[in-house]
Amino acid sequence: MDKLKVGILGLGRGITHVRNFLSLEDAEVIGACDWYELRRQRGAELLEPTGGKILDEFDDLLELKPDAVVLACNGRQQAAAAVKALEAGCHVLSEVPGAFYEQELIHIRDAVQRTGMTYMLGENSCFLDYLRYWRKWVVEDRMGPISLAEAEYLHYLPATLEAPDSTRYTPAQAQAEGRTDCKPVWRADQPPIQYLTHDLGPLLEVLDDRVVSVTCRSGPWRCTEAPLRSDGQFALFETAKGALIRILVTLNTRRPSEHRYRLFGTEGACEYFSYEGYCRFFGREHEEIDGWQKVDIGPAYRGTDTSAGHGGTDIQTARHFTKAILNGDPAPIDVYRAIEFCLPGIIANRSAELGGQPLAIPDLRTEPFTGTKFWDVVGLPDDEPPREPYGTE
């Protein structure tokens, strides 16, 4: 096939996917669907000029016989939609989290094995440019063995109610307008730690590892706009290689949104806080502890259109998925790796419900994990980016 024929389920978050796949020379968007008229209208503005169809139902989209389907729908519907698409002969690129329950991940895995189709988790944070350098520094042993790592996802999401036309409201806004027709969105009661793939996934790729156990605790339920979910959860994971990874996810604390990642090696460290927009690094080459180096690397590959979503990572996700399908190659984040990104959050919440009891994370692979294939696809940089002593500006 010369071009990948793509269908998209969901035109909220999915609008970004429509734009990105339309921009690829080796892909075409033949259709998209959504239940909400407002979203369909927005999708029609992009798709109708190219001949793509706007539909109401997923079954209608599958009848168009796309080669691949992008799932940008309600997070509680992603697993069932993935299995349905795979059974219909479509490759699948799914938004995160990918599944809500362990059994759903097993269903997706079994559908991939049964159909031979490709499933890829669209974890865009793995494509952050600075992580390529972190992986390079790990491979080059610039920080010594990595004993500890941590990441934080800080994203205030108080609009937990949805009107029949898909407009989102906070409970305070709905009450002020006297609305009685709103329903909770899928994230309203989602345990925050189950939205950890943006944090855990990238660290697992940088470390070439998987997690095997977890203990987790929940914070209180004090946010009046999102009273159905904990204000945040901390999880502590142990990896197969013996490192510890700490993850924090909060969707309820009012603050600017950001990602934070940190690696702690025995001979150095690196960290990135998105509000700063650059990386800090301290490696073996520093004979004395004379302070951080400020390294000029950020989310987007140099020359990448950062308007393509999430600092340019969304277009990288679409591009690598398309190339994998057209070339008959494995997806950079295949179904087994997707499970290793998603399942730990499900088990972590179970630990929190048990008061922090340590729990094993089952290995759902059918063959042993022998290492990540992600960097074989994405590649590591050859250059050393500009750096200067931290705090000189």
- Say yes or no: 69 and 142 in one domain: no
- Say yes or no: 50 and 136 in one domain: no
Residues 182-212: tens digit of each pLDDT: 999 999 999 999 999 999 999 999 999 999 9
Give the separation between CA 312 and CA 23, rounded to whole angstroms.
13
pLDDT value of residue 392: 62
Tell me whether residue 314 is in a domain.
no
Domain end position, chosen among 117, 147, 169: 117
Residues 128-155: tens digit of each pLDDT: 999 999 999 999 999 999 999 999 999 9
- Say yes or no: 141 and 272 in one domain: yes
Task: Identify the domain containing residue 87 by its residue range.
Answer: 4-117
Tell me whether residue 261 is in a domain.
yes
Give the count of beta carbons closer than 10 Å to the beta carbon of residue 182: 19
- Say yes or no: 377 and 271 in one domain: yes
Asked whether the predicted pLDDT for residue 289 surpasses 70, the reply is: no
- Say yes or no: 205 and 56 in one domain: no
Asked whether the predicted pLDDT for residue 304 surpasses 90, the reply is: no
Query: What is the distance of C-alpha 200 from the center of its chain?
Result: 9
Give the separation between CA 26 and CA 3, rounded to whole angstroms.
5
Indicate the angle between helix axes 197-207 and 129-139, nearest 10 degrees: 30
- Say yes or no: 101 and 203 in one domain: no
- Say yes or no: 49 and 131 in one domain: no
Domain end position, chosen among 89, 117, 145: 117
Tell me whether residue 330 is in a domain.
no
pLDDT value of residue 290: 73
- Say yes or no: 212 and 359 in one domain: yes
Sign of the Cα torsion 167, 168, 174, 179 reads positive
Which of 102, 292, 31, 86 is closest to 94 using CA atoms? 86
Give the separation between CA 165 and CA 19, rounded to whole angstroms.
23
CATH of the domain at 251: 3.30.360.10
Cis before 358 (ω within 30): no
Residues, the chain: 393
pLDDT value of residue 393: 58
Tell me whether residue 165 is in a domain.
no
Tell me whether residue 320 is in a domain.
no
- Total tally of structural domains belonging to the chain: 2
- Say yes or no: 150 and 273 in one domain: yes
Tell me whether residue 328 is in a domain.
no
- Say yes or no: 250 and 356 in one domain: yes
Q: Where is pLDDT greater, at 227 or 290?
A: 227
The token pair at 300 is 């987007």
Domain end position, chosen among 57, 87, 117: 117
Bridge-based pairing of strands 244-250 and 146-154 is parallel
Tell me whether residue 215 is in a domain.
yes
8: phi then psi, degrees, rounded to nearest 5: -125, 125
- Say yes or no: 12 and 74 in one domain: yes
Tell me whether residue 230 is in a domain.
yes
- Say yes or no: 224 and 372 in one domain: yes
